[in-house]
A and B are shown apart, each in its own frame.
Chain A
Amino acid sequence: MDYILFIATLVAIYSILTITMNILVGYIGILYLAHPAVYGVGAYTFAILAKGGTNYFLALLAAGAVATILGLIIAMPTLKLKSHYIGMSTLGFLIICHGLFINLKGITRGALGIPGIPRPTIFGETLNTNLSFFIFTIIITTVIGIILHRILHSPFSKTMEIIREDETAAKTLGKNIIKYKLQAFMITSFFGGIGGGLLASLLGYISPTNFNIDELVLILTMVIIGGMASFWGSIVGATIIILIPEALKFLDIAPALIGPLRYGIYGMLIILFMIYKPNGILGRRTNVFSK
């Protein structure tokens, strides 16, 4: 039961991470592969501040703020580049950040990682149990979810989508493409950073391995399975992908094989979805997929 609560908390946090990634990848249509670096920076910022005694909530906000700064830096080259170049440049940022996480030992403790990341203390009670932290996280992620839901069902979101569908037509309709892209990056990074902070607090320990290319594969699969440009799809995708390894545990497989098997399943899922159902489970037909 306790473990189920842990998994549920993980699902809640990854739902936010997936929705935020979906904003750039699905709604605005940018091949954005740097998200783990962005929420990683959020996680590290939170971990360092919270361990240093900063108020938990302030640390979360700071995580969002620092992640936003990184997000805007990553955004800059993408404004000028075309699609696969954007994919490579964002991937490049992911690799650079991962390298920095490993090498800036003075700040991040390098490959050793940061242990002992605290849980919040509310009214004198430290939320160390899975149940209490689950409730806490659900409240925060629901609030963030409501904000994102509102944004993603507004005229702002419609305009993001027409920029994705046909940037040229959007321009001559008077839409300021750069402003929309930058704002999308800001939302994605800010809430992604907070998600990273929550993740750090849940796991209690983070290291550069949490934010490498494997993590990118994970979050990308969540977005694709759930559906591009779909709010609820992102939550569905996050849930499914997190539950897969749990399901595997029920089958009698040698522990050494579970890792590659998981990986293989993700690969198979991506392949099947891309060929047969590129819009994911809940995604709508979008122009990202037709020439």
Chain B
Amino acid sequence: MTNILEIQGISKTFGGVHAVEQCSFSVKKNSITGLIGPNGAGKTTMFNLISGLLKSTEGSIHFKDQDITNFTAYKRARRGLARSYQAIRVFPEMTALDNIVVAFGNNKEGLFQAFTPFRRHQRRLECKAMKLLELVGLEEKAHLKAYELSYGQKKLLEILRAKANNAELILLDEPTAGINPTLIKKITTLIRQFQKEGHTILIVEHNMPFIMDLCETIIVMDRGHNIAEGKPKDIQSNKEVLEAYLGKSHA
């Protein structure tokens, strides 16, 4: 399969609002792809549709050549589709380490597995989680509760959690929002590392330098519809994209 994700004719209406309108695009396997567009373009709605938190009013979604349009959110996650959230959703009362451990799929978290010797398995998972924390230098904070971490550290945790279960497609929703430049560089390195390990990453972002530098392909949405798709330098000189961002009179 060349395309790990195929969006075909997806629409989503809320009451009278067409948040997403006949949108189609594909994401190449093992690529780092960006999804940009002005505010209100429908990017977050699109992410919610892909991860399964919303059901589309029409259209289809294919993931790894399988039609997942009618799959519930947790089923898509189990098939290898993970996401991070723009508003950080780490569990504040759990330790940083535990936040990653709960992300693992074979967690022995079934009801009857409570009566098996799960502690040894848990320790192994904790080692795995530690290695992830070491990737970003957070190993010393492993046993702190997540609410004690700084904003940037929480954001890193959020991203690590998306990678934890070896998801083939990782959706990152504005991973650099509110982050200082040094940390942005760290995140860039991290995402490239993920790509080397075989993941596909789809990123929604407003930070243009970051996304133009990192992504091979960029998809542009405006008013619920995708208006352009291509390499960063082509996108930057695309007339429609400029109009969408700046308004017609400036193009």
Which A residues fall within an 8 A CB radius of B?
A: 150-151, 154-159, 162, 165-166, 168-169, 171-177, 183, 187, 284-287
Contacts and interface: CB of A to CB of B under 8 A. Distances in A.
A285 B105 CA distance: 26
Interface residues of B, number: 32
B57 interface: no
Contact of A169 (B89, B111, B165): B89
B105 A174 contact: yes
Contacts of B83: 172
A47 to B, nearest CB: 29
Nearest to A150: B114
Interface of B: 51-53, 72-74, 77-78, 82-83, 85, 89, 91-94, 98, 102-103, 105, 107-111, 113-115, 118, 122, 161, 165
B102 A165 contact: no
Nearest to A158: B102
Given A155-B107, A158-B102, A166 B93 contact: no
Given A166-B91, A172-B73, A174-B74, A183 B111 contact: yes
Given A172-B73, A174-B77, A175-B74, A155 B93 contact: no
Nearest to B108: A155
Contacts of B93: 165, 284-287
Nearest to B98: A158
Nearest to A155: B109
> Chain B contact residues: over half helix, strand or loop, or mixed?
loop
A155 B118 contact: yes
A173 B110 contact: no
Contacts of A286: 93
A7 to B, nearest CB: 32
Contacts of A159: 102, 107, 109
A183 B111 CA distance: 7
B113 A176 contact: no
A156 B51 contact: no
24 contacts: A151-B114, A154-B118, A155-B109, A156-B109, A156-B114, A157-B114, A158-B94, A159-B102, A159-B109, A162-B91, A165-B93, A166-B89, A168-B53, A171-B72, A171-B73, A171-B74, A172-B51, A173-B77, A173-B161, A175-B74, A175-B109, A176-B74, A287-B91, A287-B93
A171 B53 contact: yes
B110 A156 contact: yes
Contacts of B102: 158-159, 162, 173
Contacts of B82: 172-173
A165 B91 contact: yes
B124 to A, nearest CB: 13
A284 B145 CA distance: 13
B29 to A, nearest CB: 21
Contacts of A176: 74
A159 B105 CA distance: 11
A185 to B, nearest CB: 12
Contacts of A177: 74
A169 B85 contact: yes
Contact of A156 (B73, B78, B103, B111): B111
Contacts of A287: 91-93
A120 B78 CA distance: 49
A41 B68 CA distance: 42
Given A151-B114, A165-B91, A172-B73, A158 B53 contact: no
B109 to A, nearest CB: 4
Nearest to A184: B111
Q: Counting chain B CB atoms within 10 Å of each CB, which of A150, A155, A168 scores highest?
A: A155
Contacts of A171: 52-53, 72-74, 77
B90 to A, nearest CB: 8
Contact of B77 (A150, A158, A165, A172): A172
Q: Counting chain B CB atoms within 10 Å of each CB, which of A168, A169, A287 scores highest?
A: A169
A198 B138 CA distance: 51
A49 to B, nearest CB: 27
Given A155-B118, A162-B91, A174 B110 contact: no
A173 B122 CA distance: 17
Nearest to B82: A172
Nearest to B164: A173
